[in-house]
A and B are shown apart, each in its own frame.
Chain A
Amino acid sequence: DAKTTQPTSMDCAEGRAANLPCNHSTISGNEYVYWYRQIHSQGPQYIIHGLKNNETNEMASLIITEDRKSSTLILPHATLRDTAVYYCIVRVRDTNAGKSTFGDGTTLTVKP
């Protein structure tokens, strides 16, 4: 699976959009980009995923560059409850491939 690179930490003002970048320059054609978050010490929570098109759901938007080497997770109106560690990972499209690596993620702090 391709490796990802994320900034260690970011701050965002409450009510503003939080834009979290991720680099995955070695991604291959059959790998998806996934985002999870982990609030305090809870289990990670799925946010969104995409292959090559931009995606949106009730939690966030995912923008993937045309060359697929990087992506941005957008939380449109960040709240204090969005303070968490956000993980960007890539997962291969293979029903026997369980391996996916979680890096250290980005710690997002939403400030009042």
Chain B
Amino acid sequence: NAGVTQTPKFQVLKTGQSMTLQCAQDMNHNSMYWYRQDPGMGLRLIYYSASEGTTDKGEVPNGYNVSRLNKREFSLRLESAAPSQTSVYFCASSALAGAPYDQFFGPGTRLTVL
């Protein structure tokens, strides 16, 4: 089992460019999440999907869109990248949303917007 995989690992964008971060899990989990982590800070929830076909906003959704493509895949799109979106992006999954179901995290995508 690969667990949670994310692509790409690194990305550099220019202001105004768009891109999609991909996330996939092979644990048959229902719930998936996108977080961002700025230097020296904790994780902040961008969007989550409690189950296939549903998505909800987290703490910091502005500037992002998500798609729950199927049960395995959850993508995060930046339509017009801004320097403030320079961050490390983590995807996570859990069997169901909320406790007591543990979240499993991917290795992260390091994004720099110039």
Shortest beta-carbon distance from A86 to chain B in Å: 11
With A43-B107, A46-B104 in contact, do A87 and B97 touch (Cβ < 8 Å)? no
Q: Are B45 and A100 in contact (CB under 8 A)?
A: yes
Q: Does A67 contact B (CB under 8 A)?
A: no
Q: Does A103 contact B (CB under 8 A)?
A: yes
- B contact residues, range: 20 to 34
A31 CA to B40 CA, complexed, in Å? 27
- A contact residues, range: 20 to 34
Q: Are A99 and B58 in contact (CB under 8 A)?
A: yes
A34 surroundings in chain B (CB, below 8 A): 99, 102
What does the 1/0 interface line of B41-57 toward A look like (CB < 8 Å)? 11111001110000010
With A98-B33, A98-B48, A99-B58 in contact, do A93 and B42 touch (Cβ < 8 Å)? no
A interface, by DSSP: helix, strand, loop or mixed?
A: loop
What does the 1/0 interface line of A17-34 toward B look like (CB < 8 Å)? 000000000000001101
Q: Are B50 and A102 in contact (CB under 8 A)?
A: no
Shortest beta-carbon distance from B73 to chain A in Å: 17
A92 CA to B97 CA, complexed, in Å? 9
Q: Does B88 contact A (CB under 8 A)?
A: yes
B31 surroundings in chain A (CB, below 8 A): 98
Closest-by-CB residue of B relative to A91 is: B99
A34 CA to B104 CA, complexed, in Å? 13
Shortest beta-carbon distance from B38 to chain A in Å: 11
Chain A CB within 10 A, most for which of B42, B45, B50, B100: B42
A12 CA to B41 CA, complexed, in Å? 22
Q: Are B43 and A46 in contact (CB under 8 A)?
A: no
Given contacts A32-B99, A101-B59, 4 further A-B contacts (CB under 8 A): A98-B49, A98-B50, A98-B98, A99-B48
18 A-B Cβ contacts within 8 A? A34-B102, A42-B107, A43-B90, A44-B103, A46-B102, A46-B104, A49-B100, A51-B100, A92-B99, A96-B97, A97-B98, A98-B50, A98-B97, A99-B56, A100-B103, A101-B42, A102-B35, A105-B42
Nearest first, the 7 A-B pairs at minimum CB distance are A43-B105, A98-B48, A32-B99, A102-B43, A91-B99, A102-B42, A97-B98
